[in-house]
Amino acid sequence: MSAANSAPNILISAAGEDAAWKKAMTARLPGAAIVTGDDNYDPKTIDYALFWKQPQGLIKTLTGLKAIFSLGAGVDHVVSSPSLPVDLPVIRLEDAGMADQMVQYHLYAALHFMRDFDVYDAQQAKADWTQHPVARISKCRVGVMGLGALGAAVATALSNLGFTVSGWSRSMKAIEGITTFAGKETLAEFLGQSDILICLLPRTPETENVLESSTLSFLPKGAAIINAARGAMINEADLLRALDTGHLRGAFLDVAVTEPLPKSHPFWDHPKIRITPHIAAETRIEEAVDQIAENIDRINRGETPRGLVNRKTGY
């Protein structure tokens, strides 16, 4: 595509949702040539690739790419590719309807523990009518790991509801009403004041297994974990051990190391674990195609696109 030609060649590989994305992108960019893996196309002519869990080896065939767009909040499926050129821009979606959904999921999960619904679930199985005092929400300390667009939205919503909220990230962030921590040197202090720990970190080599036996031990006894980021953030064996020893009261998990979660996995029938099948938030296609089209325009004008991934940090 020449600089003078505003009609790009776009390839979509969206893990079984290609047709829906192609329809939406065609409506948004009617002049573009948009193809999927089912179409006949010349890989060398593709200007932009829209990817979610793309086939292995596809990237190296696209020698004319100007940028890759991830069709979700995460970009690990792209930046982990060994054939990804070091100078090729990778662009993530910013929200695209996901923030509201993430807020809803985490409000529900946090209240599950704050209002002792895990305790009452166990009591129901025993026909036990025992009542417990209702905790004050302001006494429940929630820690949010990862303060990007989604983490910041979740932290703010929890604070607005009345939880005492702190946040931890790689670099210092300022969010009204939230006590923030940054860097590895503050992680133990942050975890030590988190009665409910929410993980919304991006997946990078540095964040894989960030929650393992030593870091889990920093959490207060009786703390709970909510993970809707990536399964690789938590060492699953160490989590099970912390639950079985009573150090942790429970876990609310939307993700796992292996997805779909194998039927034989111990998470399924563990009494202290609640499982949802990676549904905390889905990309809203209509919002996403607007972002992608606007970023293609920015690139064509020689401007920096929004959501550009820092290849050194991986997000």
**In the chain, domain spans:** 9-96+283-300, 98-275
Is the pLDDT at 302 greater than 70? The verdict is yes
Dist. CA 142–CA 140, nearest whole Å: 6
* pLDDT on residue 2: 39
User: Mean pLDDT, the chain, as a whole number?
Assistant: 95
pTM, full prediction: 0.90
Token pair for residue 184? 């590895």
* pLDDT on residue 313: 85
Q: Do domains 9-96+283-300 and 98-275 have the same CATH topology?
A: yes
> Quick one: pLDDT band at residue 71, thresholds 50, 70, 90?
very high
Q: Which residues contact 182 (CB under 8 A, 6 or more apart)?
A: 168, 169, 170, 171, 172, 173
CATH topology of domain 9-96+283-300: Rossmann fold (3.40.50)
Dist. CA 138–CA 30, nearest whole Å: 52
Contact (Cβ atoms closer than 8 angstroms) between residue 81 and residue 59: yes
| Residues carrying an active site annotation | 230, 278
Contact (Cβ atoms closer than 8 angstroms) between residue 66 and residue 299: yes
* pLDDT on residue 6: 61
| Per-residue pLDDT tens over the stretch 82-128 | 999 999 999 999 888 899 999 999 999 999 999 999 999 999 999 99
Is the preceding peptide bond at 260 cis, omega within 30 degrees of 0?
Answer: yes
> Quick one: pLDDT band at residue 184, thresholds 50, 70, 90?
very high
| Per-residue pLDDT tens over the stretch 239-292 | 999 999 999 999 999 999 999 999 999 999 999 999 999 999 999 999 999 999
CATH topology of domain 98-275: Rossmann fold (3.40.50)
* pLDDT on residue 96: 85
